[in-house]
Structure 1
Amino acid sequence: MRALPRLALALLTATATVAVVGATAGAAADPPPVTVLTSDFEDGTSQGWAGRSAETVAHSTAVAHSGTGSLLVSGRTASWQGPSLDVLGTFEKGTAYTISVWVRLASGSDDARLSVERRTGEVASYDQVVGNTAVTGGAWVNLTGRYTLATDVEFLRLYVETASTTGDLYIDDVTAGYVPALPVQTDIPSVKDVVTEFPVGAAITGAEIVTGHGELLTKHFDSVTPGNALKWDATEPAENTFTYAQADPLMAFAKANGLAVRGHTLVWHNQTPAWVFTGADGEPMTATAEDKALLLARLENHIRNVAAHYGTDIGVWDVVNEVIDESQPDGLRRSQWYTVAGLDYLRTAFRVAREVAPHAKLYINDYNTNVPAKRDFLFALVQRLKAEGVPIDGVGHQVHINIGWPTVAETQAMIDRFVPLGIDQQVTEMDVSIYTGDGESFPAPPTDRLLKQAYVYRDMFALFRRYPGEITSVTLWGLADDNTWLDTFPVTRKDAPLLFDTRLQAKPAYWGVVDPSRIETGTSPGASASPDTSTNPGTGSCAVTYRVTGSWPGGFQADVKVTNTGATALASWRLAWQFTGGQQIGQLWGGLHTQSGPAVTVGNAAWNGGIAAGGSASFGFLGSWTGGNPVPAAFSLGGTACTVL
């Protein structure tokens, strides 16, 4: 996994989002949402909220997001102190809750975060629901995220914190709710049954082994990678104090369900506690003989304990992670491992791992290995270490990519480069972001981006399957879009990089892997992508598909597809309908809209005005609702009634 700033590291049991993305064609419709928590502070009380420490919380009428009341938090002496609410009796294990909090500073500016503290026994853990979000004293800012409790706990509190300052802050209009789970689709092919050239796996946290997630995982995948549970900070937080509380449940689930396990990772420059690089004198280590000997001894002790704890249950280890920095003259990352111990930390790590786990395949893992400079530096390093007798069995290519980069040719060159070394290659952390730059942000994935993503998955898997003797496994960095690190890295925004959506339903990306002929429709083989109007009475020259693809307390997302069923191409289009439940469109993409009361008109954008005969155009939007959200009964295109599919 690529390096994340410490404060921006979102534990993968919690993922930030602004909308619940819905099912693709052929999946079940969303049931109505259920609200489990509301705090509007209109009754003059704190409504159960308290400070995490000695700070003061009190009802206030100075400012409010809505109504007249809010909650003022003052007297904070640390950035992590803030308003906190007990949700132990509210949140149930295995349910994905959407949590919304409006935040405003009394003055100044900072980043705010939404987090959860949970405890089992005396052990506290912290899950980030929403990462750093800019907030000021001038306006209310919404923090909205998803959280799934994956373990039994004795203490569970939701809280708001800031990144650096300790000034007063306000919160208002807090809600939490969930949409009842959709059943996992059992009538679609399993990925592992279609891709037989190598095992296909997924990175997991505790959230992926409960309820429907566990069912989805075992249906489609051959192997799992604990995403964070085997890293140094999770397994040896204090020197020679080993704990496997995070990893053991994942390992037990894998063993019970016949899933192979990739161990990730024994050595990394991130998520390594500070004590590892602190010398016997209490000072940061430097390149002295004494510090080097101590560091390598700690490294050996760590690997001997962690690798031995799981023995033959782990058949592949990412021994070292992300050691290449192509900006350096020699291509080697100037991590604390390297500055203190040079290449000896790599030699030690592989030697000890081989001694402790002689059965396991040992990997060196890195990202952007499709970039020629980085690829060549990694090749030279592996070649050198192999020549010295260092027991490296394979190279791991992370393959964190997006819908526009890299090309198939660049990826093929990556694989071909390492073939002469005679070692295994694995794709270890694959995901395909819907974004092509840090400046982009969508409230929910646009249809055209999901289709582009599907074709990237199609092309990449087709490439990997042409190298069954070289590529020995492919692992996706996550199970479904409800739990992805890309929601907070490189910036906070909702991404959708995996094969299944936030409701665990198959996306076009899934069909890109399993059956590319079904990318556009998600229907049974042979089904028509264009409607057959001969069996639909009352049709004009258009057909409309309107789907509510996500729903949460007070809001929803919809996708609309308009198809030209006439014989003449359209140069532009305008689609109209009436809402009957008081719905209001808040944000629309893929078109331009107007709304007057219940009447809505959507016209084409500059890039999708032309619709060929038999062709279609799509758009989507976020809307609000109050008492209900019925689907419009009729649509017209340019005044002509359309078939409603």
Structure 2
Amino acid sequence: MGQAHELKHRMGNKTIKLVDAAGLPAAGKEVEIKQTNHAFLFGCGIFDAVDVANQNVPSDRLAFQEEKLDLFLDVFNSATLPFYWGRFEPEKGKPLTKELQAAARWLKERNVAVKGHPLCWHTVTAPWLLEMSNEEILQAQFARIEREVTDFKGLIDTWDVINEVVIMPIFDQYDNGITRISQDLGRVGIIKEMFAKTREHNPDATLLLNDFNTSINYEILIDGCLNAGVKIDAIGIQSHQHQGYWGREKLEEVLDRFSHFGLPIHFTENTLTSGHLMPPEIVDLNDYEPSHWPSTPEFEERQAKEAEEMYSILFQHPLVQAITTWSFSDDGSWLGAPAGFIRKDNSPKPAYKVLKKRIKGDWSTHLTVKSDDNGVISFEGFLGEYDLVCDGEKVSFTIEQEAETDQLILR
């Protein structure tokens, strides 16, 4: 009863009137109602979709990647694809547009919502920008946004517009074109420019500001953007926990601080390892390069408990709309960390099984009911997409926040 109350905002009431082909009430019909997709976005970074959609790997590797994606599709409904400029367009004028379009299309055909990450970032950016003046870099960045947002409209309508701006102007690991223009424009200035350009070419897109910095500096930056008239559709919060799980207290503290903006919150890049923790003295996670970072049974159990608690806390929070785990698999995971839900051989870890039970079981609606004398059925279900099956016929509908009545015709 407690959980049902805590998740009330994730549910909606639905009334359906069943009629036959002649328009008469279909009374006393046994009806199966099954949720087929969630309104909430349960996602992963799933860059493997590029290989599978383009079939550009050896057949044995392709079969392995397809098996991996089958496991992903069995639980998750949201995917992030890579648009790092330095990899997307390593040679100026030769972007990997067709390859990424194929991946986005492959996912969309399987009812997966797709997000592009990122349109502007100082890391993994195009090295050839350094040959340009700052004004030329800015124009190239604008052209890049126009091209990607236009080419992918309808396939990708959610973007991490600009990434990690808190550190962007003071980033000193190496010279890059984006840090140069962020120093010219300032943090709020570059965000305003990039959001305006993205909005211009896809007015209906969902646009995120994304950062790993969850300190007051990010709050101040968001506040500055909103005061400058930047329309942020969702606040992106990265939660790479290679050095240990945040825990309930920090999670709730972060949620509380970023909730005061009243904007939707997306946990965009989440990491929980099933191996040893990165030493606490490491400041830049990229600096940790162990020769071996195994996933172990003991730590897999820890990961499962942490994932279950974290997902439960976030799913209960009314402003959170999405959770994306950054590495679905240990195979090719970021920094080589054993942070996936499946192992390098595609075998599911306990965390995968726990989340599948939650997402497809506890947090899904599947029931059998009978229509009354007027052909009416009423029920409450988790928000999302549904199939209704009666006498072998299947009809689709959705449950949204507002209570509503649909009339479905049984042929």
TM-score range, shorter-chain basis?
A: 0.5 to 0.7
Cα separation, 2, equivalents of 1:351 and 1:435: 43
2:166 is aligned, of 324, 334, 338, to 324
Q: Tell me if the contact between 2:138 and 2:181 (Cα under 8 Å) persists in the aligned partners.
A: no
The alignment of Structure 1 onto Structure 2 pairs a total of residues equal to: 295
Q: Tell me if the contact between 2:43 and 2:323 (Cα under 8 Å) persists in the aligned partners.
A: yes
Pairs within 5 Å for 1:233-272: 233-272=86-125
Cα separation, 1, equivalents of 2:199 and 2:300: 42
Q: Tell me if the contact between 2:169 and 2:183 (Cα under 8 Å) persists in the aligned partners.
A: no
Q: Tell me if the contact between 1:393 and 1:424 (Cα under 8 Å) persists in the aligned partners.
A: yes
Higher strand share: 1
Q: Secondary structure at the match of 2:103?
A: helix
Q: Which amino acid aligns with 2:345?
A: R
Cα separation, 2, equivalents of 1:443 and 1:238: 34
Q: Tell me if the contact between 1:213 and 1:504 (Cα under 8 Å) persists in the aligned partners.
A: yes
Q: Secondary structure at the match of 2:102?
A: helix
Cα separation, 1, equivalents of 2:210 and 2:125: 17
Q: Secondary structure at the match of 2:346?
A: coil
Q: Tell me if the contact between 1:312 and 1:359 (Cα under 8 Å) persists in the aligned partners.
A: no
> What residue in structure 1 maps to residue 319 of structure 2?
470
Q: Which amino acid aligns with 1:437?
A: M
Q: Tell me if the contact between 1:368 and 1:399 (Cα under 8 Å) persists in the aligned partners.
A: no
Cα separation, 2, equivalents of 1:268 and 1:392: 17
Q: Tell me if the contact between 1:363 and 1:394 (Cα under 8 Å) persists in the aligned partners.
A: yes
> What residue in structure 1 maps to residue 201 of structure 2?
356
User: Structure 1 480/417 Cα, relative in aligned 2: closer, same or farther at 3 Å?
Assistant: same
Q: Tell me if the contact between 2:243 and 2:278 (Cα under 8 Å) persists in the aligned partners.
A: no
Q: Secondary structure at the match of 2:244?
A: coil
Q: Secondary structure at the match of 2:101?
A: helix
1:219 is aligned, of 63, 74, 96, to 74
Q: Tell me if the contact between 2:86 and 2:127 (Cα under 8 Å) persists in the aligned partners.
A: no
Once the two structures are TM-superposed, the CA of residue 506 in structure 1 deviates from its matched residue by 2.1
> What residue in structure 1 maps to residue 180 of structure 2?
336
User: Structure 1 507/390 Cα, relative in aligned 2: closer, same or farther at 3 Å?
Assistant: same
User: Structure 1 341/239 Cα, relative in aligned 2: closer, same or farther at 3 Å?
Assistant: farther
Once the two structures are TM-superposed, the CA of residue 319 in structure 1 deviates from its matched residue by 0.2
User: Structure 1 356/310 Cα, relative in aligned 2: closer, same or farther at 3 Å?
Assistant: same
Pairs within 5 Å for 1:27-106: none
Q: Tell me if the contact between 2:122 and 2:168 (Cα under 8 Å) persists in the aligned partners.
A: no
RMSD: 2.8
Q: Secondary structure at the match of 1:427?
A: strand
Once the two structures are TM-superposed, the CA of residue 511 in structure 1 deviates from its matched residue by 3.4
> What residue in structure 2 maps to residue 275 of structure 1?
128
User: Structure 1 445/255 Cα, relative in aligned 2: closer, same or farther at 3 Å?
Assistant: closer
Cα separation, 2, equivalents of 1:477 and 1:417: 23
Cα separation, 1, equivalents of 2:201 and 2:114: 17
Say which structure, 1 or 2, has more relative contact order (CA 8 Å, 6+ apart).
2
Listed one character per residue, the Cα deviations across residues 425-470 of structure 1 (whole Å, up to 9, x for unaligned) are 1011212122322587756322211111111111111111111x31
Q: Tell me if the contact between 2:209 and 2:234 (Cα under 8 Å) persists in the aligned partners.
A: yes
Cα separation, 2, equivalents of 1:435 and 1:486: 13
User: Structure 1 407/441 Cα, relative in aligned 2: closer, same or farther at 3 Å?
Assistant: farther
User: Structure 1 327/235 Cα, relative in aligned 2: closer, same or farther at 3 Å?
Assistant: closer
User: Structure 1 432/208 Cα, relative in aligned 2: closer, same or farther at 3 Å?
Assistant: farther
Cα separation, 1, equivalents of 2:272 and 2:36: 20
Cα separation, 1, equivalents of 2:122 and 2:319: 28
Higher helix share: 2
TM-score (norm 2): 0.65
**Which is further off, 193-202 or 448-457?**
193-202
Cα separation, 2, equivalents of 1:482 and 1:447: 17
Q: Which amino acid aligns with 1:436?
A: L
Once the two structures are TM-superposed, the CA of residue 352 in structure 1 deviates from its matched residue by 0.5
Once the two structures are TM-superposed, the CA of residue 362 in structure 1 deviates from its matched residue by 0.7
Once the two structures are TM-superposed, the CA of residue 326 in structure 1 deviates from its matched residue by 10
Cα separation, 2, equivalents of 1:194 and 1:477: 24
Q: Tell me if the contact between 1:501 and 1:507 (Cα under 8 Å) persists in the aligned partners.
A: yes
Q: Tell me if the contact between 2:107 and 2:113 (Cα under 8 Å) persists in the aligned partners.
A: yes
Listed one character per residue, the Cα deviations across residues 143-189 of structure 1 (whole Å, up to 9, x for unaligned) are xxxxxxxxxxxxxxxxxxxxxxxxxxxxxxxxxxxxxxxxxxxxxxx
Cα separation, 2, equivalents of 1:503 and 1:243: 28
Q: Secondary structure at the match of 2:152?
A: helix
Query: Which has the larger Rg?
Result: 1
Cα separation, 2, equivalents of 1:514 and 1:243: 33
Q: Tell me if the contact between 1:368 and 1:400 (Cα under 8 Å) persists in the aligned partners.
A: no
> What residue in structure 1 maps to residue 340 of structure 2?
498
Once the two structures are TM-superposed, the CA of residue 385 in structure 1 deviates from its matched residue by 0.9
Once the two structures are TM-superposed, the CA of residue 400 in structure 1 deviates from its matched residue by 1.0
> What residue in structure 1 maps to residue 10 of structure 2?
none
Cα separation, 1, equivalents of 2:347 and 2:243: 20
> What residue in structure 2 maps to residue 162 of structure 1?
none
Cα separation, 2, equivalents of 1:510 and 1:195: 18
Once the two structures are TM-superposed, the CA of residue 262 in structure 1 deviates from its matched residue by 0.7
Matched, 1:486 2:335: yes
Identity %: 23
User: Structure 1 195/496 Cα, relative in aligned 2: closer, same or farther at 3 Å?
Assistant: farther
Matched, 1:313 2:155: yes
> What residue in structure 2 maps to residue 426 of structure 1?
266
User: Structure 1 310/427 Cα, relative in aligned 2: closer, same or farther at 3 Å?
Assistant: same
User: Structure 1 446/213 Cα, relative in aligned 2: closer, same or farther at 3 Å?
Assistant: closer
Cα separation, 1, equivalents of 2:165 and 2:236: 12
TM-score (norm 1): 0.43
Pairs within 5 Å for 1:587-602: none
2:45 is aligned, of 200, 203, 212, to 203
Cα separation, 1, equivalents of 2:354 and 2:113: 24
Q: Tell me if the contact between 1:364 and 1:394 (Cα under 8 Å) persists in the aligned partners.
A: yes
> What residue in structure 2 maps to residue 435 of structure 1?
276
Once the two structures are TM-superposed, the CA of residue 249 in structure 1 deviates from its matched residue by 2.4
User: Structure 1 314/326 Cα, relative in aligned 2: closer, same or farther at 3 Å?
Assistant: closer
Cα separation, 2, equivalents of 1:247 and 1:276: 22
Cα separation, 2, equivalents of 1:196 and 1:403: 31
